[in-house]
Amino acid sequence: MAATETRDDTAAIAALHESLDVQQAAFLRDPMPSAEVRRERVLAVAQMALDNRLRIREAVRSDFGSHPALFADMVETLGIAGRAAYAAEHLETWMAPEPRDADPAMYGTGRAEMRREPKGVIGNIVPWNFPYDLSLGPLVDMLAGGNRVIIKPSDATPACGDLLRDMARATFDPDLVDVVVGGLDLAREFPRLRWDHLLYTGSSRIGREVARAAAENLVPVTLELGGKCPAVVMPDAVDARSVQHIVGIKMIKNGQMCNTVDHCHVPSDQVDRFVDLAAEWVAQAVPDYSTTSDCTGIISDAHLDRVLGLISEAREAGCRVVQLDPGGKVDRETRRVPMHIVVAPPPGIGISEEEVFGPILPIHPYDDVDDAIRHINAGERPLGLYVFTHDEQAAEGVLTRTSSGGACINAAAIQGALPSLGFGGVGNSGTGRHHGIDGFREFTNARGVFIRGEDDLCDLFVPPYDERQQALVDGALEGA
């Protein structure tokens, strides 16, 4: 809930309370929208994103200083449309009651089932790094679940927040979807309200504050928290394909992605090979990376100073620091920074202790994979864990000895882009997940329903307790 500027949020807070009241009343009037209505709402999200594609491009460029237009198209527009199309296609299957076993010896012809019902009004606190993907993407899951939604964009992306509000109000009635924009006071007030569910995506530190505020009203929360997501490169996989993928993933948003590779564990005797392969690929594929629009600007001057401070601290600690595009320079106007590799950072310095979230890839050499696993397990559970090897058994060995929110073998960060694969939560103290059926389930209530039939023994649980129950107990004990 960090703010980039001081602002008077009195009007924004009043509007938030009014919007919540309006949506809660609307939900009580229509608590169970049909599959057809939900499908229309979900597809409206897709159309809204597609109709505003060029405006989305410009908004993210404005807020980041530099941002690749085609990446905005793929993730902030087409990714949302694809997620919506997937949900619309599978919605009726997701909504269908799920049968549960009911022992006919006890319940006769009775039936049991689990029904997924809307939770009500859901709040979504959106981070700055993916202002549309992480606002409209979860909105798809929430609307598929039959809910109403209020979104709070990050105040670090004001252009994106204003456009999101305009898009939502041009597409939906505010009693269904609304967007509130403001500063620090609004951010603090948002999780204190009596939501039926609350989604927060961002840092663990703020996640704890959100969880504490929500707990006052017993509001269930989904926390998609970041963390130091590791990649374990096994000795057989220090090759061009693995290195290119790791470095390329790190270049997405210039490292400002919660499930990017935070750091790599590489065999000690192959660290030089890893660095050389990375430099060779950059020289061939993206030689002027940090001077082009492919390089996303760091979100703010404060974050820029933090990234540069991490690099300087590593140099002062005696680390080998390799800039992957040697001709690149820091551009403070667009906040673009070249990609760096830092070899063998010692414990205690910034990039070893905190989430990097920038264009720095620390390399931790290991002599035995057990050392890498101990390093991973000594920290907080990461949001994502990535294993690179041509040996499937070796990959499974790493996965079974570690824990993370999601995992990939011979890939990194990809699971978060799959509309069918639940993604979210378990980094650090995170909880829950979204995307696909997992998102639908996250934002609905599982309501167990029993329909009594004939020839059951249900009345035996009701007083008086006499020879009837005694016969039941004796028979059960004899059978046991």
Nearest CA to 235 out of 212, 267, 207, 264 is that of 267
Dist. CA 219–CA 209, nearest whole Å: 13
**The residue to which tokens 């890498």 are assigned:** 372
**pLDDT for the residue numbered 418:** 63
Q: pTM of the prediction? A: 0.94
Dist. CA 32–CA 34, nearest whole Å: 6
Residue 457 lies in a domain: no
Dist. CA 315–CA 341, nearest whole Å: 11
Which residues does the annotation mark as catalytic?
224, 258
Residues of the chain with pLDDT under 70: 1-6, 414-430
* In a shared domain, residues 170 and 240: no
Dist. CA 336–CA 458, nearest whole Å: 70
* In a shared domain, residues 39 and 174: yes
Q: Is the dihedral of CA 159, 188, 208, 433 positive or negative?
A: negative
Residue 425 lies in a domain: no
Neighbours of 10 (CB within 10 A): 11
Q: Which two tokens stand for residue 100?
A: 């549960």
Residue 221 lies in a domain: yes
Supply the angle between the helices 240-251 and 271-285 in degrees, to the nearest 10: 60
* In a shared domain, residues 214 and 286: no
* In a shared domain, residues 294 and 219: no
Residue 348 lies in a domain: yes
3-state secondary structure of 313: helix
Domain that includes residue 348, residue range: 230-417
Q: Residue 79 is inside which H or E element, if any? A: helix 79-95
The tally of domains found in the chain comes to 2
Would you list the DSSP string of 314-334?
A: HHHTT-EEEESSTT---BTTT
* In a shared domain, residues 219 and 234: no
Dist. CA 39–CA 225, nearest whole Å: 29
Sheet holding 221-225, edge to edge: 177-179, 148-152, 121-125, 197-202, 221-225
* In a shared domain, residues 258 and 359: yes
Which of 357-395 are b and which e, b meaning 16 or more Cβ less than 10 Å from the residue's Cβ? bbbbbbbbbbeebeebbebbeeeebbbbbbbbbeeeebb
**pLDDT for the residue numbered 401:** 97
**pLDDT for the residue numbered 427:** 43
Residue 470 lies in a domain: no
CATH of the domain at 153: 3.40.605.10
CA 222 to chain centre: 9
**pLDDT for the residue numbered 360:** 98
Residue 478 lies in a domain: no
Cross-strand pairs, 179:
151
